[in-house]
Chains A and B, each alone.
Chain A
């Protein structure tokens, strides 16, 4: 097992989680939980791959983001205006997105060559270890992921619109009193979240594992993205770290099955086939443990979710 390659693969597949999680982070910062990440990713994956394969890759990326944003707008309509429960609406979005994508994706090819350019950055790739992990032979969208995180951080914590965003998530009535349009802000960020989830899906089917594999494409990625936002305590940097680490652990659970020997002793996962399923539990157990760890840390430091997360805002009503 080559550590550099495994880490590089973790970065590559972690980018899927990264886009989706940053999108969810935006929505939750504005006070709206969107559990439909999985559904929006699925539709983004479908739109991205089918447009990218048949017409033009970059148009595919754009339309995937538009599709994700439109689905998210549906969630916005139901939760922001009709004040339905956000958790339920998100679940519905997951069912809807998955189902629609399965129906419309019927007959697409299951494999293809990567549709987006793979780039090695000239000087940075020569740095020992780091270059091989981060800057060699990665899809162009991986680099977009590197840029997205600092930009998100600056936007949320260092700009006036970011201040409005946080105000809307923490105390919408106060934001409203200051002249911020709470409804418009929530729609905008929920749709931005959807666009990023769509991008995550498109990246997956166009670049990371090119092709339409229907069910197998997303095992739990959308849900793990939601978990990562909690682990990341609604901060982009921590969320990114979580995304890459989780993806690396997923990758590890595959790589450990390969070699005949591990650290000089016979590899049980190689010797006895079914034991690979025990290994397959590892990433999910890790997610649970990490959440326990994050929750107890949050309790200790009194860090919480945005205060209005999950509650619809109704102008002029008490309790906000």
Chain B
């Protein structure tokens, strides 16, 4: 079956013919993604140049300050850690065509939950790490799951559009965190809480520089390892379990899934719980591994960048790791780039090119002579 393109320009000596592919060749997905990123970087370069910047300078700076030395590579991995979690959160939901775009809010609540473990003061001073850390991560996971679950329940029970609710919950969570850091948990009127005790910090490589002297100054923390483990676990869940199969089936063909007797409402709630929990872990790992306190605006939009990470990885949990590191580099280097919007713009252009490039997966596009 061939569908011809709706555009026909008879003025040109050739025409675009689009033929639907029955299946796409192996490796084409990765190839088109790379091609799309290259095109996106070229487009971004034009915009930067138009704005009066030097695109080569900007790109060279990004590479140098994110991969130039072992120290900055470690910093890149620190930035990639929350992105892996939020990228996974989005991938799980998007795989079933559930548009959880509010990972940012679930991350906020996760961070709040982890902070609450320290700040409510139920644990005595000097509590050991092996009690603090699991509790903090669990609290982050729980609060994130709750936040995602609310949207999932509203979708399953009332058929309320999850795009809007997850996003509104982002704004609610931001106000919620502000309330606590400006109010009850404020340290001396500043918009941040007191610093967590050392026992509540996720261990970093630099903490072990007495054992291996090269570790000095490397801030990459246990959260990165946890994120990689989470990615493998999510891959296993989606590809090797019955529930994962159901999720993929709903994503590919909801009607068939319904006929197969899958309870779609329950699966929606489950997936939103998992998705929220993963994003919540991002927040917990960030406050415990990097910031060491809760403060306003500690996230430069990790939840939103997670959306792009998920698409770049084509919802493949292992691909998420790679995409997250690339965007971690962009965020890390982006802090010093002026004007400040450049990283965000590049993200937008990349996402656009990636989804536009999908057409090459679905169609064989050919130029034919008239």
Chain A residues packing against B (C-beta within 8 Å): 35, 39, 74, 78, 81-85, 87-89, 91-106, 183, 219-220, 223, 226-227, 230, 272-275, 277-278, 280-281, 284-285, 287-288, 291-292, 295-296, 299, 314-317
Contacts and interface: CB of A to CB of B under 8 A. Distances in A.
A102 B348 contact: no
A314 B19 CA distance: 12
A85 B251 CA distance: 13
B159 interface: yes
6 contacts: A88-B355, A89-B355, A98-B341, A102-B344, A277-B176, A295-B158
Contacts of A295: 158-161
B164 interface: yes
B50 to A, nearest CB: 8
Contact of B47 (A91, A103, A106): A103
**Which residue, A78, A85, A103, A274, has most C-beta atoms of chain B within 10 A?**
A103
A248 to B, nearest CB: 17
B182 interface: yes
A182 to B, nearest CB: 9
Top 7 closest A-B pairs, CB basis? A102-B341, A99-B345, A274-B183, A96-B348, A95-B348, A99-B344, A106-B339
Interface in B164-212: 164-165, 167-169, 171-172, 175-176, 178-180, 182-184, 186
B172 A102 contact: no
Interface in B38-86: 47-48, 51
Contact of B355 (A84, A274, A287, A288): A84
A275 B179 CA distance: 6
A103 B3 contact: no
A278 B179 contact: yes
Contacts of B338: 106
Contacts of B368: none
Nearest to A77: B356
Interface in B213-264: none
Contacts of A227: 161, 164, 168
A180 to B, nearest CB: 14
Nearest to A304: B159
A275 B182 CA distance: 9
Interface residues of B, number: 54
A4 B182 CA distance: 32
A78 B341 CA distance: 24
Contacts of A97: 348
Contact of A220 (B51, B171, B304): B171
Given A103-B51, A274-B183, A78 B352 contact: yes
B160 A83 contact: no
A47 B307 CA distance: 27
Contact of A291 (B165, B179, B308, B351): B165
A99 B362 contact: no
B349 interface: yes
Contacts of A274: 178-180, 182-184, 186
A255 B172 CA distance: 19
Given A83-B359, A95-B347, A103-B345, A288 B3 contact: no
A168 to B, nearest CB: 14
A316 B18 CA distance: 14
B3 A314 contact: yes
Contacts of A84: 355-356, 358-359
